[in-house]
Amino acid sequence: MNSNNKPQQPTATALVGDIGGTNARFALWRGEHLEAIEILACADYPRPEDAVREYLQRVGQPLSAIDNVCLACAGPVGDADFRFTNNHWVISRDAFRAELGLSHLLLVNDFSTMAWAASRLGGDDLVQVRDGAALDGRARLIIGPGTGLGVASLLPLPGAGWHVLPCEGGHVDLPVSGERDFAIWQQLREKYGHVSAERVLSGSGLENLYQASCKVDGVAPLALSAAQIGERALAGDTYCDAVLEHFFLWLARVAGNAVMTVGALGGVYITGGIVPRFLERFQRSGFADAFCARGKTSGPYLSQVPVWVMTAQHPGLFGAGVALEQALLAGD
């Protein structure tokens, strides 16, 4: 979280955005809720300021009514101006605030907003997929296979509030737990060199897992996308179903390793575009058992850690609102 502005209290209406390489999602944050969600194509606008003006015009909101903005940006966010890696936009903090007349501009990493969302989402937006008892005062882990593999931690602050710790946990080494894992890992290593968790636990990773599994088994692979692999699995294709199951088991091991690394006994929140899409199949998978099927020390450590899947429709936007709210209250 980064801002260069004076401390102030939240105003009645703020603007939040979730900006990726292709699309920019915007919404109004009012009364701790999202309103007027719109999706704009980044390629249609020379600058992010132009997209913000277009959004406000679409929803009938005057620019003068917006004093505070939080934008979730795809990529590492520091104190400097932000350059998007997958589109032509640049956010110059001072120029952006000056042109739009803002008091407060907050830029956060896009996956960090998933962690902010996890600090506030209620039962209607969460499905528990592993029983346990979350410990108060302990970190929470947020992990999300999607375009890539996002990982973040949510740390409780003394008294109240949360601190989000972003990281590059998707690029840790892929854990190998058996002969089949090793055979698939060898195929991936031959192709990519370093085999990160993201090489399997992402959209392209599911495709990698399918192709490598076919090579190991001597099966002629089809040219299937991640979505098609999942759809075929749900339709009764036993081979694709086995690949999807292996995906879920590998997610369990990576998530369990991350919990032990950061001491996330406050629970695990799974987000991203893959698991929520196949939620019923995920609930029938071996994830819950594989999560703590480990040695005599690590198994008991993980045994009571609960796991939820985030099913909120726009968790990135919601998390941006929560991040902005806490930043204004804290004077960050």
Range of the domain at 270: 122-311
Q: How many domains does the chain have?
A: 2
| Domain shared by 101 and 210, yes or no | no
> Which residues participate in the annotated binding site?
17-22
| Domain shared by 102 and 172, yes or no | no
Q: Does 117 map to a domain?
A: no
| Domain shared by 319 and 198, yes or no | no
> Which residues participate in the annotated binding site for ATP?
17-22
What string of pLDDT tens digits covers the 332 residues of the chain? 444 443 444 456 899 999 987 899 999 999 888 999 999 999 999 999 999 999 999 999 999 999 999 999 877 787 778 888 778 899 999 999 999 999 999 999 888 999 999 998 888 899 999 999 999 999 999 999 998 999 999 999 887 888 999 888 999 999 999 999 999 999 999 999 999 999 999 999 999 999 999 999 999 999 999 999 999 999 999 999 999 999 999 999 999 999 999 999 999 999 999 999 999 999 999 999 999 988 887 889 999 999 999 999 899 999 999 999 988 887 76
CA nearest 175: which of 191, 156, 188? 188
Q: Does 241 map to a domain?
A: yes
Exposure of 10 in the CB half-sphere (CA atoms within 13 A)? 20
| Domain shared by 157 and 80, yes or no | no
Q: Does 71 map to a domain?
A: yes
Both structure tokens of 126: 């969460």
Q: Supply the CATH number for residue 290's domain.
A: 3.40.367.20
Both structure tokens of 89: 């936009």
| Domain shared by 239 and 207, yes or no | yes
Q: Supply the CATH number for residue 54's domain.
A: 3.30.420.40
Distance (Å, whole) CA 129 – CA 284:
9
What is the pTM for the complete model shown? Answer: 0.89
Q: Could you give the C-alpha distances from 307 to 133, 293, 297, 310, in angstroms and in order? A: 10, 15, 20, 10
According to DSSP H, which parts of the chain are helical? Answer: 48-58, 93-100, 112-118, 179-192, 203-217, 226-234, 238-262, 279-283, 287-291, 298-302, 315-330
| Domain shared by 51 and 97, yes or no | yes
